[in-house]
Chain A
Amino acid sequence: MASGAQDKQYTPSLLNFFIYNPSFGPREGEEEKKILFYHPSEIEKNEKIRNVGLCEAIVQFTRTFCPTKPAKSLHTQKNRQFFFEPEENFWIVMVVRNPMIEKPNKDGKPPTIEYQEEELLDTVYGAVVRQCYSMYKLFNGTFGRAMESGGVELLIQKLEKFFYRYLQTLHLQSCDLLDVFGGISFFPLDKMTYLKIQSFVNRVEESLSLIKYTAFLYNDQLIWSGLEQDDMRILYKYLTTSLFPRHSEPELAGRDSPLRPEVTGNLLHYGRFLTGPANLKDPEAKFRFPKIFVSAEDGYEELHLIVYKAMSAATCFMISANVELTREFCEQLDGLVGPQLTLLASDICEQFTINRRISGPEKEPQFKFIYFNHMNLAEKSTIHMRKTASVCLTSVHPDLMKILGDINCDFARVDEDEEIIVKAMTDYWVVGKKSDQRELYVILNQKNANLIEVNEEVKRLCATQFNNIFFLD
């Protein structure tokens, strides 16, 4: 029709997500028993069985070539499938539709659809699947645990309950390198303030000795974790992408907004529970906290997760799930932690402003970079805007993000330190550096720069931003 008709872009989206265990329905006619979870659920049963069967076949088939490393993904024109076996015989499969461009045709012909088969990165979406499992495991323990305590019925119930909500929060279009890293952003802090936080944590743990582990965050960035690294990594993900964003809105809301939590008349401090009771004074208040599973010396341990926040400082207190938490305990915690945390939060804020004034804010926007350290999972990005519950905004074009992902794949292939410099189509330079456990990706927008100039520029960045770490040139 009108010549102004435009191409229509479709971002990658979730087609299917299912979990199955081939050992549950080995005989013919029992295939349905294999399926533990299927999204979308309204799909017809036979199609579900067919899809599961196909995946099973592919995995079995590829296994003949490499028994230890079966297929991880299957590329097709329209979509891509990711296979992940987190526990023996349990398979999680995610099917993502490739991004596509719909080109309108003249003369009323149906539009042509162009699938962009090469746009998706296996590493990124493979990491997304693994993250799904980790998140499930954080709140439910392993699949095996559910099987032990309540059989397949319980497992199906748990999977249904968890993934029904969780899959809605997956935003496949904005997944990128950061999902591969699954890093933790650490809050920069001077030694003295850090020691004060240490002292605070130790004192609270001493006087409320039910508390087993404590984590301390400020501005959604980690400062201290008593949990082990891998547990903290997934808890951090939950806190920053789910719990904190959900609770930040009421804080931003106006004074008279109905969203704003009722001020309980506690003028001594700003502390409040993000999990558990919203209002301690409420006689109906329930003292139930989410339970999480973390690794322990003998497998896993189940813990209550108490998240308590005062201003920008948040603390997670983890208490053995065997203990029933009471109103008295919560009141005691509130009375002890509230005032101290309020004070600490304003201390940190003060230090932070001082530091920023000294270091100079103009340094920041000059470079767009992503930094990740495999050793402590420290991640820093000037490319990404603040993460919210719904979207993860980046300030660069997806094409560039893809180049970053590609460089990362290259790095993953070898152990040695290396450096890759790419000139993108759009006159951008993309530099990837790998030194020991660290990776740095820099995007430079200098049209007429040559290779040497770019190299010099990156050296300058390292000298200013990373002068206190050992980074091989």
Chain B
Amino acid sequence: MAEEHYLELSENPVQFEHASSVNNVFFDEANKQVFAVRSGGATGVVVKGPDDKSSVAFRMDDKGEVKCIKFSIGNKILAVQRTSKSVDFINFIPDYPHTEFTQECKTKNASVLGFCWTSWNEIVFITDQGIEFYQVFPDKRSLKLLKSQSINVNWYQYCPETAVILLSTTVQGNVLQPFAFRNGTMTKMTKFEIELPVVPKPAKLTLSERDIAMATIYGQVYVMYLKHHSRTANSPGAEVVLYHLSRTPGPGPAWFRHRPVPLVLLRSREGACKKSHILKLNTTGKFALNIVDNLIVVHHQSSQTSLIFDIRLKEPDCAVNTHQPVLPARSIHPYRIPLSGTRPGQNRPRSPRSNLTPSVSAGPAAVPTQPPVPYSSSWSVFQPDIIISASEGYLWYLQVRLPPTVHLLQDKGKLMDFLLRRRDCKMVILSVCSQSACPSCRRLHLPSGKLTTVSVPVLDGQEKGSLPVVATVFDKLNQVYKEYLEAEQSYTAAMESGPSRGGGAQKRPVRTQAVIDQSDMYTHVLSAFTEMKDVSHKFIIAVLMEYIRSLNQNQITVQVKRGRVSAPASRFPIFDAAVSDWLQHYLYELVIKTLVQNNLFYMLHQFLQYHVLSDSKPLVRTSARRWQHHAEGGSDPTQLVLFGSVFQACLLLSLESTYPPAHQLSLDMLKRLSTANDEIVEVLLSKQQVLGALRFIRSVGGHDNVSARKFLDAARQTGDQMLFYTVFRSFQQRNQRLRGNPSFNPGEHCEEHVAHFKQLFGEQALMKPSTV
């Protein structure tokens, strides 16, 4: 099943001239560049990477076989090792002398195993007798030894992200000595020992360079040890043992885990390297490791499959920090190498710069017509996510495809945990939500009274009892959402308390794809879900309530207005109104719509009674509009007949209401809002409760500012003359009090009412200006 391949190779690989007798290929992990060196450089060196568009081509003199070739960071200086004693340098900085210069290693009789650039002008030589740390002066064409350390070295590994070099020491090679480099300083870190499955006698080099890799996972540096299966041990298969290197900044919450964390490797000795995780491979053979999106990918050559592990995923049935593969083993999605002439990614135009490299497009040999053999022995795997086929001339980045995981991971909670930690997870998560909310599998009950649960077999193999699953999914989403909001909040607080304080180290939290807010849920999941015909309204309401519950359970009151941060409201975690008031309002509208459409008014009352649907002015209007909409717009005439009278009343919630609840509910809500006094007056007036409106506005102290005309209009409409008289006199008194004159200002537009008053009660009934 092609949909099951959850790993794939990047669509646009870096192509280079494949390795041959005249063409040597080198890969630099630091800059992710492939060097194709033809005839020792005399007929050309082509440097490609890190993507298929960037390339550098040059020539250099053939001074012997090249053993290692690397640019310093930023392609400033090229270092080439041709002998075991020295390294040659060529400036690539414009206006600097281009002539090569050479540096021999300082230690006598030592042979250089290799070198690593740690910055644009700092380089480390690793010899079999120690390491030498140099600064390069390209203008002077010389190097200065910054620091050196004597130590017997079998082999080394370099982690460019953290600038840590790991040296294998002792006879068996299993004591590893890390060094960290930073701004011209070299720090010796605590050495540690890898537990070997079998200790050879007599002692000989046992730990191979191939079985050790360094990588950054969730912002932490790990040394990964591929522990092969031994017959003597009880373990059923090989394992990957992770050693956590030193103390680095603590694990960040999910929202910033993709952020490149500046690694501060502590100098303190207490940060010893500790065995932290064991990944069970449950098989034996040849393996290779990659890190993709914080997942550890283990390729197994003989079965041509790969496994993925997530060290953050807790295994309930395993001992602490022992991990089983997240998903069943699958091979990498087969990569089709396009026929000659076309580059991978047919839709893309050919990169003109790639064409300039004659070696690639020259001969048909460069473009094999056969698909590359996956997991072939010619593949080389580099950290974190690089696979190179030197014989075919390709450099791929390994990628995780999330959609297939949805079907492979049955446990939706675990799936969510997994997805929420991935980089491009948003759409996949939303699709899982839609899927959980609309299970094609519902339980069936036979009318015999015996509760028979029949799982309808469905293609995606969904399990029954979907509501708890939906709840788990929502809770996990909102947990991440909440953490992000909290981080945002504390960032805002820190910014306000002064950027200089607290070291000023706080960075604005990055909103990753895993932060799925209400707007996302509303747009992509819930609004479509409530429209579904074949889902019972009961279930729709249950899902909506579950989402509201989950929001409430996870939210913390955030007072964003006026920038004040309030303490977490542990007692009544009321969802923050300021952040997403209008969104919530749409969420509530969905609830109301569903309830009203199904004539479930009593349910709606109960929700409002317990303030499940928080008060808001739009909500009041929504209720009214919904009801109105339903009454008017129902294209289905039977529905109209069914609900007609009720809705009509709601529509006219302010008039003589035959459906009182809407009226009372709205007024209560407006009252609680305490900013909606005008609306209350409107409602009362339209219900012809003129005196009530007048008394209300007086009780809230708004009497002096209201429009007299509005009240007089309403009073006159009632046809009740005494009421009109009372209201009229009341406003005359107000005028008297405010302006010392009972008459109305022209701006109040009450002339018509004054005339009406005179007509009804006579001129003499008008209040006269007091003489005092």
Contact = CB atoms under 8 A, between A and B. Distances in A.
Contacts of B553: 192, 195
Contacts of A358: 571
Interface in A103-127: none
Nearest to A438: B664
A452 to B, nearest CB: 16
Nearest to A192: B552
Nearest to B667: A470
B737 interface: no
Nearest to B608: A376
B450 A326 contact: yes
A223 B548 CA distance: 18
A190 B571 contact: yes
Contacts of B574: 191
A187 to B, nearest CB: 10
B680 A470 contact: yes
B467 A202 contact: yes
Contact of B605 (A203, A223, A376): A376
B661 interface: yes
A176 to B, nearest CB: 25
A425 interface: no
Interface string A199-224: 10011011111100000000000011
A468 B667 CA distance: 10
A30 to B, nearest CB: 44
A195 B545 contact: yes
A356 to B, nearest CB: 13
Contacts of A326: 449-451
B336 interface: no
A199 B549 CA distance: 8
Contacts of A437: 660, 664
A194 B612 contact: yes
Contacts of A417: 689, 692
Contacts of B450: 326, 328-329
B445 A209 contact: yes
A301 to B, nearest CB: 15
A56 interface: no
Contact of A205 (B448, B538, B680): B538
B663 interface: yes
Contacts of A189: 610
B312 interface: no
Contact of B606 (A208, A225, A354, A470): A225
A138 B606 CA distance: 23
B668 A202 contact: no
A85 interface: no
A473 interface: yes
Contact of A196 (B451, B549, B602): B549
Contacts of B466: 206
A323 B545 contact: no
Contacts of A209: 443, 445
B260 interface: no
B413 to A, nearest CB: 15
Contacts of A202: 467, 538, 541-542, 545-546
Nearest to B541: A202
B197 interface: no
Interface in B398-456: 443, 445, 447-451
A354 B571 contact: yes
Contacts of B112: none
A106 to B, nearest CB: 60
A469 B666 CA distance: 10
Interface string B220-232: 0000000000000
Interface residues of A toward B: which range? Answer: 35 or more
A208 B451 contact: yes
B668 A468 contact: yes
Interface in A39-80: none
A332 B445 CA distance: 14
Nearest to A186: B609
Contacts of B571: 190, 354, 358
Contacts, number: 119
Interface string B577-617: 00000000000000000000000001101100111100000
Contacts of B447: 322-323
Interface residues of B toward A: which range? Answer: 35 or more
B479 to A, nearest CB: 16
Contacts of B672: 468-469
B695 A328 contact: no
Contact of B451 (A186, A192, A225, A329): A329
A118 B771 CA distance: 57
A196 B572 CA distance: 13
A191 B552 contact: yes
A325 B467 contact: no
Contacts of B612: 191, 194-195, 198
Interface in A363-378: 373-376, 378
A329 B449 contact: yes
A417 B680 CA distance: 16
Interface in B614-673: 660-661, 663-665, 667-668, 670-672
A228 interface: yes
Nearest to A228: B602
Contact of B602 (A194, A199, A206, A225): A225
B163 interface: no
Contact of B471 (A199, A354, A376, A436): A199
B370 to A, nearest CB: 54
A225 to B, nearest CB: 7
A198 B668 contact: no
B605 A375 contact: yes
A229 interface: yes
A473 B696 contact: yes
A472 interface: yes
B606 to A, nearest CB: 6
A307 B669 CA distance: 34
A251 interface: no
Interface in A449-473: 468-470, 472-473
A399 interface: no
Contact of B573 (A192, A198, A325, A470): A192
Contacts of A328: 450-451
Nearest to A190: B572
Interface in A213-267: 223-226, 228-229
B468 interface: yes
Nearest to B671: A470
Contact of A206 (B539, B664, B695): B539
Contact of A199 (B451, B546, B668, B699): B546
Contacts of A203: 467-468, 471, 542
A196 B609 CA distance: 16
Contacts of A473: 695-696, 699
A205 B542 CA distance: 10
A229 B449 CA distance: 28
Contact of A436 (B552, B667, B695, B699): B667
Interface string A347-371: 0000000100010000000000000
A469 B668 contact: yes
Interface of B: 443, 445, 447-451, 465-468, 471, 538-539, 541-542, 545-546, 548-549, 552-553, 571-574, 602-603, 605-606, 609-612, 660-661, 663-665, 667-668, 670-672, 680, 689, 692, 695-696, 699
**Top 7 A-B pairs ranked by shortest CB distance?**
A202-B542, A195-B549, A470-B667, A324-B449, A470-B671, A194-B610, A206-B467
Given A225-B606, A329-B449, 18 more contacts: A192-B553, A196-B549, A198-B549, A199-B545, A202-B467, A203-B468, A229-B602, A326-B449, A326-B451, A375-B665, A417-B689, A417-B692, A468-B668, A468-B671, A470-B670, A472-B692, A472-B695, A473-B695
7 contacts: A195-B553, A198-B612, A208-B451, A226-B603, A324-B449, A468-B671, A473-B695
Interface of A: 186, 189-192, 194-196, 198-199, 202-203, 205-210, 223-226, 228-229, 322-326, 328-329, 332, 354, 358, 373-376, 378, 417, 436-438, 468-470, 472-473
